Amino acid sequence: MTATVPPERPTTDQAGRVELPPDTRFPDRRFVNDDLLPVPVARRNWTTYNFVALWIGMAHCIPSWTLASGLVALGMDWKQAVLTIALANVIVLLPMLLTGHAGPKYGIPFPILARASFGVRGANLPAMVRAAVACCWFGIQTWIGGQGIFLLLGKIFGGWADATEVGGYPWTLWLCFVIFWVLELAIIYRGMDTLRRFENWAAPFVLVGAVVLLIWIANKAGGFGPLLHEPSKLGWGADFWKVFFPGLMGMIGFWSTLSLNIPDFTRFGKGQRAQVWGQTLGLPTTMTAFALMSVLVTAGSQQVYGAAIWDPVELAAKTDNVFGLLYALVTVFVATISVNIAANVVSPAYDLANLAPKLINFRRGALITGVLGVLVMPWKLTATPELYIFTWLGVVGGLLGTVAGILIADYWIIRRTVLHLQDLYVTGGRYWYAAGWNWRAVVAFAVGGVLAVGGSYSTLDAKGAKAGPFPVDGIIPVLKPLADYGWAVGLSTSLVLYVALMAGKGGHDRS
């Protein structure tokens, strides 16, 4: 098949940013629309602060606040929990920076970058995996945000929890969920510039809100309670490591989603310096500080109320000050929206647009994401720490780590960061492979995925009942020992296998 390649050649500026000529046209619209085209250099204007603000806005949310609580519930002390979270975010930062490099250089989103390795059509495979995960996360965050608003409004007005139940929950909770859902989609529907402006002011607002909560509880407690002095139930021996490694993989899984689709944001960056410094200053530091803050606040709650309260919304609801409740309400609203629309709507919007560019643009993809996020019934995904950390985050991390390994291998090892922009949008070009699919990437994904998540297993709760959807001995029992290291297994396996398969005849293409 002859490639439908326009005659114009891309240009490269002094900063190494590649751009298609403004009059470039692609006759075959099956694989391109305006949202998937490279961002013009003039619009690549996100600074270091924009990326720092993006990460502060995404990290400061209720699920990340309660990550430490999940690890403590599994037997760690607070120091072990914070250390695990800090290490996980340093580790996940590396693939984040590696995949993010293509954004400022070429101005392309994640599904277009995936075409270089999986093929113009084959890129839909990792894109749909990422979109499915994002839709689930969108539902989880929206449900948690709706619960927060429901609890705080109930404290202000009273009687909300006693409303008639629908589907096992008060109808007032469903109302908060729907209102929150609509407002999120309204913001993202206005586009990425609106998102950037929202994150710029949301980040400091949420940060101040967390500090205010810390000051309030410290003042009320007159210090911090016994939580800070409670020893680990696991110690530092064999029992600790059994929880540490799956816990670490779960914490990595928390942001393994963004390690794939970070080009969706870095494509707007002014250059590599902005995205590298912005992410380095924004991700590991913020997540570690937020985890530490959650521990201190929870310790104060134990001193005041006699029990550790890990949920910041539940803790804020303890106050009888109407102004304080309203401030907490707005903070929860802003914090949850800032992470949800950035982390869980942007990616599937692009991914769905890549699936059918002629029918779905960015805005339609966002609306589809919103609908799917409700259909996954997110209230069932956060039931217990075991289900949330080991099953949900662990399996997600394993699959997405596998994709990340292929992207990194292709972009950095095979192509040495050299892509041919035009061929990413046409049939018959360098990235067309066989009918639009690169079988090598598919094989690497399949093998890495099976090794990463094939041994997924469920643990037993305190009553001896199975806490999760998988067999206790693992889906594939012989692979069970690998399940606790799913992200690392998936990434390393797919990376090595992909490089080996591409090293054969026709594998390398840096021309």
Q: Would you state the pLDDT for residue 507?
A: 47
Which of 365, 302, 334, 369 lies closest to 140, judged by CA?
A: 369
DSSP state of 434: B
Distance CA 265, CA 283 (A): 14
Q: Per mean pLDDT, which range of 135-144, 159-168, 485-494 is the poorest?
A: 159-168
- Give the largest CA-CA distance in the chain: 75
Distance CA 390, CA 384 (A): 10
Q: Would you state the pLDDT for residue 211?
A: 82
Q: Would you state the pLDDT for residue 116?
A: 96
Q: Strands 169-170 and 459-460: what pairing? A: unpaired
Each residue of 424-480: pLDDT tens digit?
999 989 999 999 999 999 999 999 999 988 888 776 666 666 666 778 888 899 998
**Dihedral angle sign, alpha carbons of residues 371, 99, 16, 507:** negative
Distance CA 222, CA 201 (A): 32
At residue 128, does pLDDT exceed 80?
yes
Distance CA 94, CA 460 (A): 34
Distance CA 451, CA 188 (A): 36
Q: Would you state the pLDDT for residue 409?
A: 96
At residue 508, does pLDDT exceed 50?
no
Provide the CB-side half-sphere exposure for 237 (13 A, CA): 4
pLDDT band at 1 (very low <50, low <70, confident <90, very high): very low
Distance CA 114, CA 406 (A): 9
Cβ atoms < 10 Å from Cβ of 59: 29
Q: Would you state the pLDDT for residue 393?
A: 58
DSSP state of 60: S
**Dihedral angle sign, alpha carbons of residues 414, 420, 421, 423:** negative
Q: Would you state the pLDDT for residue 501?
A: 95
Q: Would you state the pLDDT for residue 2?
A: 45
Helix (H, G, I), strand (E, B) or coil at 165: strand
Q: Which residue has the higher pLDDT, 71 or 468?
A: 71
Helices (H), 345-393: 346-355, 362-375, 385
At residue 303, does pLDDT exceed 80?
no
Q: Would you state the pLDDT for residue 275?
A: 94
What is the pTM (predicted TM-score) of this model? 0.83
Q: Would you state the pLDDT for residue 192?
A: 63
Q: Would you state the pLDDT for residue 104?
A: 95
Distance CA 370, CA 337 (A): 13
Q: Would you state the pLDDT for residue 470?
A: 77
Cβ atoms < 10 Å from Cβ of 350: 29
Q: Per mean pLDDT, which range of 184-193, 353-362, 371-380, 398-407 is the poorest?
A: 184-193
Q: Would you state the pLDDT for residue 228?
A: 66
Q: Would you state the pLDDT for residue 29?
A: 81
Distance CA 361, CA 356 (A): 8
Q: Which residue has the higher pLDDT, 313 or 16?
A: 16
Identify the top-confidence range among 220-224, 388-392, 398-402, 429-433. 429-433
Provide the CB-side half-sphere exposure for 258 (13 A, CA): 26
E-strand ranges in 56-207 read 165-166, 169-170
Q: What percent of the chain has pLDDT over 70?
A: 88
Beta bridge partners of 165: 170
pLDDT band at 224 (very low <50, low <70, confident <90, very high): low
Q: What is the 3-state secondary structure (H, E, C) of 202-254?
A: HHHHHHHHHHHHHHHHHHHHCCCCHHHHCCCCCCCCHHHHHHHHHHHHHHHHH
**Dihedral angle sign, alpha carbons of residues 442, 126, 274, 209:** negative
Q: Would you state the pLDDT for residue 443?
A: 96
Close Cβ partners of 502 (under 8 Å, ≥ 6 residues apart): 409, 410, 414, 440, 508
Distances from the Cα of 187 to the Cα of 202, 337, 342, 366, angstroms: 13, 9, 10, 10
Distance CA 303, CA 245 (A): 31
Q: Would you state the pLDDT for residue 3?
A: 47
- Provide DSSP, 395-406: HHHHHHHHHHHH
Each residue of 149-179: pLDDT tens digit?
887 777 777 777 777 877 778 888 888 888 8
Identify the top-confidence range among 88-92, 144-148, 253-257, 296-300. 88-92
Q: Would you state the pLDDT for residue 418?
A: 94
Each residue of 198-218: pLDDT tens digit?
777 777 777 787 788 778 777
Each residue of 321-341: pLDDT tens digit?
777 777 777 777 777 787 787
Q: Per mean pLDDT, which range of 87-91, 332-336, 379-383 is the poorest?
A: 379-383
Q: Which two tokens stand for residue 391?
A: 């099953």
At residue 385, does pLDDT exceed 50?
no
